[in-house]
Chains A and B, each alone.
Chain A
Amino acid sequence: MTLLDGLWLASALTALAAGLFGRSPSAGPWLTALYGVQFLLVAFMGPLAYGADPVPASPAFSVLGYGLSWQFTALSWFFAVITAGAALAAAWFMSGAWGRHYAEQGGDLRLLQLALALNPSTMYVLLASRDFLSLFVGWELVSWASFVLMLAAGGVGVRWALRYLVYAIGGAMAVMAAMVLSHALTGSFEFGALAAVVPDLSAGTLWSLVILLSGGFGVKMGLLPFHLWQAGAYAETPGPGSAFLGAISSRMGLYAMLLTLFGVLGLGTLKALSIPWTPLEAHELLAWIAAFTIVLPTFTALKQNDARWLLAWHGIGQGGYMLMGVAMGDALASAGGLMHVFNHATYQAALFMAVTAVVYRTGTADLNKLGGLVTRMPLTFLVLLVGIIGLAGLPPMNGFVSKWLIYRALIDDGQPLLFVAAVVGTLGTIVSVYKLLHNIFLGQLRVEHESVREVPGSMLAPMLALSLIVFVTGLAPGLVLDWLTTVQRELGLAVLAPTLGGVERPDGGLDMLWVVGILFAGFGVGALIFLAGGRARTVHQLDNYAGGHFLTAEVRYHYSDNFYAGLMHRIGPWYRGSFQWLQDSVVAATDLLAQAAAGVYRVVQPAAWLLGVTVLALWWVAA
């Protein structure tokens, strides 16, 4: 039995235990321990990230002469460790008070536990896939598992889960079409067989493969224009579920893209594949899609008034950075893109948990109904602060490192427009996460939140642990970049030579140890001045300056509604919902076709049509 078998077994056992005992809130810690076992098993496979031989799975099937086999490589391990960590954190978060609260509120805790447990276990199957058949099996399993998790919320969530299902089925169809095409070309579902014939394929065939694979897997990633399902589906999932989904679920699309587009077709093929009559190549097309995926969802996030929706929209936008980095493909950019997967998982899970903690205490995630909670929930505030610094890509958190690598590579590659898109996306992120922090934690505390307390330890511990990871991997990004060199080698990309603090380059590298050191030295000077200065006096919140106005508790002075009024005045008219229009028109067209078909075979002589079809079918069978 290999470690991968053990991992599968452990994750299946977790799902079984969740299904049997998940109803009882007291099962939470035991389930968390099972997730811990999964994490340990993934950790034991750690040597993979340093160049060890792949870990195979013992089960191998043969269906109609086509073999299915599974094994973990460095790429699988990188995604698996994030998955295991996110699942552990989410399970830990719901193991105590949150789970009890959820059950008391009438939620189906068993369903939620089971759905959460199914997700990592199916992901481990997907991550181990080594041919098109096993990839497709894993892909479907993952899609359905996340559908179940989205469904767990009931209510509004069901609508979004169904929307996701439609998109996911569409994506799976595209993937299946790519598989069929590949089979037609090679007569096999092996990756190697397709990779062998790639040099001989015509541009049209290659384009079909690229479009089908990137479109099919891009649906899961929420790439434009297939992004409309994601924000609602992730935001309306119950707290820990959305933390898990937001952290890693949609990255499975990136994993599958890396495996097929980069691992099988190869970056060289993408670079050689130019779009007729344009200066763009296929990988630049991907980068441009990524650029739009960065900018538009990020600025949609800016407009949200629900904290969970705001974060979920950012999840889509940050996915754009990952794809952009990987699509540019050089050592810096691909390391940045891959590292962003890790970084995003850590801070996004922490952010969703912090927002869930706020919802747990106040009952709302509406950014217009909160404020001033920093005095009541200081540790949750700290988690959210660390998280948004990471999300905005500012030092000293890990999000800065991955974005720096991507920016740097875009400059080096002579891509000023993509660079501007990346920076504009970051600007939108900074602006909108400030809104998140301000509207929840800063400003005036509402009277009804007077007695709010900090959340209990079972919820705080995973949040703080994730925040610590966000900081430590920002301080020493070499820890993660080291794994990525192996992944880059596996995918045939240029390999980065990282140092503990970042990268060293003759024309100016990045050493986060210095950056963080200088930053904290600055804080230290400020702290010295603060400590050496006069005694501080705490004043009442309403003893505050409002142009000389006397403040009273009856009137709110915490401006949260229509937050960036000036900015919205400029960019507001750009939010025209053109993607919504696109989706609606596709829906309308499908509906019209279906009605037309129904009109023909159900209204106009259905019996005659049936008879005709049957005769034709019989004739075909006989012939």
Chain B
Amino acid sequence: MKELPVRTEGAFAKRTNPLAHVFDEFVRFCRSHSLFMLHYCTGCGAIELPPAMTSRFDMERLGIQPMVTPRQADILLVTGYVSVKTLKRIILTYEQMPAPKYVIGICSCTVNGGMYWQSYATAKVLADYLPVDLYIAGCMPRPEAVVSGMRKLMGLIKTGKAESWKDYYRRYDHYLGNQQALFGERWQTPTDVLGEAQQYGLHGPETEGEHTALLQQVQQPLIPHRMRLK
């Protein structure tokens, strides 16, 4: 791995007072070294993940390992082109992840549609619908590139710069608008994003708008049973 030019330091501003945020930094350090990723294997990029995770490149030495459910996952890997139908599932899965959560778009298709640019059924720019922290471009990116991207994300988390999940709450109306434009007006997920925005203290002026108003009109509650200890 020596020959890989991985640069995470230097790209960020120098801290002024080293003791100011000791606890925050410690938490971020721990967090960056213990990442569970849910790989939502949508396209060809998924084929590069097994070598990246197993003994050849061994992502686990960085503290990154796969997780089977979004409820325990930190990273959502979207590994290729996303059709409209798939995108609904990705958004559902993303919203089920607890914060802080990070999205990595792998392959050119997540950046701009890639070779599916002309497809009527493919969402072109993933970042229109979800806050993407990091793209790993390539068709497909080699495991070295995947590992390099992961280290980049770790650096971002360590320095407190991987905060785009907050953007989803702060500008939910924007993301929801794009989702509604693609899926239609009756689009909804079971997750109460507005409630979560309140809970995380991220409810801002752009959280609600015309699109969330539309959502609240069409929202169907989940029936019939709530999991609650009586």
Chain A residues engaging chain B, CB cutoff 8 angstroms? 372, 374-376, 378, 445, 447, 450, 453-454, 535, 537-545, 547-551, 553
Cross-interface CB contact of B225 among A445, A453, A547, cutoff 8 Å: A445
Cβ contacts under 8 Å, B205 to chain A = none
Nearest-neighbour CB distance to chain A for B151, whole angstroms, equals: 27
Sample of 12 more A-B contacts, CB < 8 Å, known A454-B230, A541-B226, A553-B223: A375-B225, A375-B228, A375-B229, A375-B230, A447-B225, A539-B190, A543-B190, A543-B191, A548-B89, A549-B89, A550-B89, A553-B224
Q: A450-B224, A545-B71, A553-B222 are in contact. Are A540 and B89 (CB under 8 A)?
A: no
B96:A541 contact, CB within 8 angstroms: no
B92:A537 contact, CB within 8 angstroms: no
A545:B70 contact, CB within 8 angstroms: yes
A537:B222 contact, CB within 8 angstroms: no
Cross-interface CB contact of B40 among A450, A540, A548, A549, cutoff 8 Å: A548
Q: Roughly how many angstroms separate A120 CA and B17 CA in the complex, as a whole number?
A: 78
B93:A540 contact, CB within 8 angstroms: no
A540:B230 contact, CB within 8 angstroms: no
Residue of chain B at shortest CB distance from A444: B225
Give the 9 A-B residue pairs with the shortest CB-CB distance, closest first: A548-B89, A543-B190, A541-B227, A545-B69, A540-B222, A542-B222, A445-B225, A548-B93, A545-B70
B109 within 8 A of A: no
Cβ contacts under 8 Å, B196 to chain A = 537
Nearest-neighbour CB distance to chain B for A203, whole angstroms, equals: 62
Q: Roughly how many angstroms separate A587 CA and B130 CA in the complex, as a whole number?
A: 72
Q: Roughly how many angstroms separate A550 CA and B86 CA in the complex, as a whole number?
A: 12
A541:B92 contact, CB within 8 angstroms: no
Residue of chain B at shortest CB distance from A542: B222
B55 within 8 A of A: no
B216 within 8 A of A: no
B90 within 8 A of A: yes
Q: A375-B228, A535-B199, A537-B196 are in contact. Are A543 and B222 (CB under 8 A)?
A: yes
B230:A376 contact, CB within 8 angstroms: yes
Binary contact readout B113-133 vs A (1 if CB under 8 angstroms, 0 otherwise): 000000000000000000000
Chain B residues engaging chain A, CB cutoff 8 angstroms? 40, 69-71, 86, 88-90, 92-93, 96, 189-191, 195-196, 199, 222-230
B227:A375 contact, CB within 8 angstroms: yes
Residue of chain A at shortest CB distance from B196: A537
Cross-interface CB contact of B224 among A447, A453, A454, A547, cutoff 8 Å: A447
B224:A540 contact, CB within 8 angstroms: no
Q: Roughly how many angstroms separate A39 CA and B69 CA in the complex, as a whole number?
A: 52
B222:A545 contact, CB within 8 angstroms: no
Q: Roughly how many angstroms separate A510 CA and B160 CA in the complex, as a whole number?
A: 49
Cross-interface CB contact of A537 among B70, B90, B199, B226, cutoff 8 Å: B199
Residue of chain B at shortest CB distance from A376: B230
Q: A535-B199, A545-B71, A553-B222 are in contact. Are A540 and B227 (CB under 8 A)?
A: yes
Nearest-neighbour CB distance to chain B for A396, whole angstroms, equals: 23
Cβ contacts under 8 Å, A374 to chain B = 229
Residue of chain A at shortest CB distance from B96: A545
Q: Roughly how many angstroms separate A539 CA and B96 CA in the complex, as a whole number?
A: 9
**What are 12 A-B pairs at a CB distance below 8 A?**
A372-B225, A537-B199, A539-B191, A541-B226, A543-B222, A545-B93, A548-B90, A548-B93, A549-B89, A550-B88, A553-B222, A553-B223
Residue of chain B at shortest CB distance from A535: B199
Cβ contacts under 8 Å, A553 to chain B = 222-225
Nearest-neighbour CB distance to chain B for A440, whole angstroms, equals: 16
Cβ contacts under 8 Å, B96 to chain A = 543-545
Nearest-neighbour CB distance to chain A for B118, whole angstroms, equals: 26
Q: Roughly how many angstroms separate A545 CA and B94 CA in the complex, as a whole number?
A: 10
Cβ contacts under 8 Å, A541 to chain B = 225-227
Q: Roughly how many angstroms separate A416 CA and B151 CA in the complex, as a whole number?
A: 51
Q: Roughly how many angstroms separate A596 CA and B224 CA in the complex, as a whole number?
A: 65
Residue of chain B at shortest CB distance from A447: B224
Nearest-neighbour CB distance to chain B for A536, whole angstroms, equals: 10
